[in-house]
Structure 1
Amino acid sequence: MTGPVFRFAPSPNGELHLGHAYSALLNARMAAETGGRLLLRIEDIDVARCTPQFEEGIYRDLAWLGIEWEQPVRRQSDHFDDYAEALDRLVDAGLAYPSFMSRGEVRAIIAEAETEGHEWPRDPDGAPLFPETERRLSQREREARMQAGDPYAWRLDTRAALAHVGGPIFWEEQGHGPQGQTGLLRANPTAWGDVVIARKEVPTSYHLSVVVDDALQGVTHVVRGRDLFFATAMQRLLQELLGLPAPVYVHHDLVLGDDGRKLSKSRQDTGLATLRAAGLTPDDIRRMVGL
């Protein structure tokens, strides 16, 4: 079967809200308008926070909205081997390294630098970039600490990764970014520093699993909220490193709360289950999100 492939990929760590409804309905509409397919993916690599109850709620809410998706549903927790294989490729190529610093140690390094008057660089989400200290650890020290059982996370060596790619990276944006960016855009992965791509106990992270999943599922159009616009740069880098195809990206506006902030799963007043219990209909939801 050919044609565009879209996907809606929620995490079952809370109830879906109006923002999720907008994204799911927009994906479904674009799939219908283009004669494409709509897939549903459950992004549950955070096994501590994701629950079967929330997953069942996702199916219930989407069915109530009248959204139909192809079976089977891909559940990320069933495919850790796929992500481990991709991670091994990056490690074997010398593009990822284990980092052992705790959050407290990282905070202390940043605080010391700022006390000395240095402005610490931050990523597009406002979080401080990871210090470069552990990038310089010897292979012998890394192996010794791993064998000793020290907790660690795998981080992408972004500088080495960009050198490995050997040229600029772009993506096709058919939606728009926070400043209206659209068209063929140049990615800037260095803005994120050395991101976590896996952990000792879980062989993946959001960035790694999403690019592997999109490739394995043949996704051609990634339609998602504008809050993930800048994350596209890191995902495009991983696609280039792993030889994966690049989808078209469509970043859409966010559904905001009364206070002007984006909705979160903690806001029960915008939860679809709460709104349904209050007597609202799927048509009411479509009107509320502008569809």
Structure 2
Amino acid sequence: MAPQTTSFQLEDHDLPRGGRTRIAPTPSGYLHAGNAINFLITSKLAQVLGSSIHLRIDDLDAERVRTEYVEDIFRSLDWLGIEWQSGPTGPDDHLMNWSQQMRLERYGLMAKELRSTGLVYGCTCTRSQLQEHNAEGRYPGTCRSVGHSLEALENTWRLHVMDPTMIEINGLNGRTELVDLVSVMGDPVIRQRSVGNEMPRVAYQLASLADDLDQGITWIVRGKDLLASTACQLHIADLLGLEQFEQVRFLHHRLEMDDEGRKLSKSDGATSLKAMRKAGVSPQVFERKADMVIREFFSP
């Protein structure tokens, strides 16, 4: 049974009717309470707006994917009562027909198109080196003017973001938010360096943007931890003249925290949906939290 629609009215807001949204979990661990709330917000708003839901499993990082994590996504959606209108119907269907691994050529073409802007440069910095300069991993531009080869597979590709670059994010509630991309991210990675014998993999920012474009997504629900990613993807869309994505509207919600005030992580612990199902927790707990987030977002 699908989650009940929210009990309040949203007529006072300039909302996009119809269209398509998406649920896009990453199978890098067992889903947690924060995922459940995000999915339910999306489902409830889709019912109110008359939007269809596309299920996308973001398995770009193949090394972290486990069969049990993919299975957990479908079990969790079924437990929450969430229905979707397009995308994989189960783990096997996902693997055979919907995996992001089948779209690597598409992502690579977008990376090459971005390279043609002249704003992409090679970078040799490691994650540990970056964290020495900035605990948040924001890139300080170390390799921007060095001239490292873009042909060398061991080099990361980064996008030079001019300072300042202010990104306007259109909220689902009709409001806009300005984000300084330089201060929240710096120069983003658009292609990872080669590891071992593997070919370089494009970064999440490009894969997510390409998928949202090709799948006709018109509005997106995300946690606030992805606000910088939204700004980055909107900037890339602007550079490539992708007006379709610039019209997408967003809801960035607060994150669900553990008892220590830390962001929840995917695990097999007590905060996982797998553990909660076994413990007999009712999905209605998360429905109430989803309703609360929606009320907060659309409040005057």
Distance in 1 between residues matched to 2:207 and 2:144, nearest whole Å? 23
- 1:16 touches 1:272 (CA, 8 Å); kept in 2? yes
Give 1:183's aligned residue.
175
Of 135, 141, 145, the match for 1:132: 141
The answer on 1:219 being equivalent to 2:217 is yes
| Pair 1:158–1:22, CA change in 2 (3 A) | same
Letter in 2 for 1:96: V
| Pair 1:261–1:94, CA change in 2 (3 A) | same
What percent of counterpart residues are identical?
33
SS at match of 2:143: helix
SS at match of 1:48: helix
- 1:14 touches 1:265 (CA, 8 Å); kept in 2? yes
Distance in 2 between residues matched to 1:104 and 1:263, nearest whole Å? 23
- 1:188 touches 1:234 (CA, 8 Å); kept in 2? no
SS at match of 1:19: helix
Q: TM-score, normalised by structure 1?
A: 0.79
Distance in 2 between residues matched to 1:107 and 1:263, nearest whole Å? 21
| Pair 1:14–1:103, CA change in 2 (3 A) | closer
- 2:223 touches 2:252 (CA, 8 Å); kept in 1? yes
Q: TM-score, normalised by structure 2?
A: 0.77
Letter in 2 for 1:216: D
Of 99, 105, 126, the match for 1:81: 105
Give 1:19's aligned residue.
34
Give 2:4's aligned residue.
none
Distance in 2 between residues matched to 1:37 and 1:136, nearest whole Å? 45
Gaps of 5+ in 1: 111-121, 163-167, 176-181
Matches within 5 A, 1:118-267: 122=134, 126-138=135-147, 142=149, 146=152, 151-159=154-162, 169-174=167-172, 183-191=175-183, 192-200=185-193, 201-244=199-242, 245-246=245-246, 247-266=248-267
Distance in 2 between residues matched to 1:70 and 1:49, nearest whole Å? 27
Distance in 2 between residues matched to 1:75 and 1:242, nearest whole Å? 25
Aligned pairs, number: 258
Distance in 1 between residues matched to 2:139 and 2:51, nearest whole Å? 40
Distance in 1 between residues matched to 2:190 and 2:76, nearest whole Å? 31
Letter in 2 for 1:223: V
Shift of 1:230: 3.1
Matches within 5 A, 1:91-106: 91-103=115-127, 106=130
Gaps of 5+ in 2: 1-16, 89-97, 194-198, 293-300
Distance in 2 between residues matched to 1:58 and 1:137, nearest whole Å? 44
CA deviations 1:150-208 (Å, max 9, x no partner) are x121111112996xxxxx54221236xxxxxx822233221211111111334311211
Cα RMSD (Å):
2.6
CA deviations 1:74-107 (Å, max 9, x no partner) are 4322211111010000112212112123345556
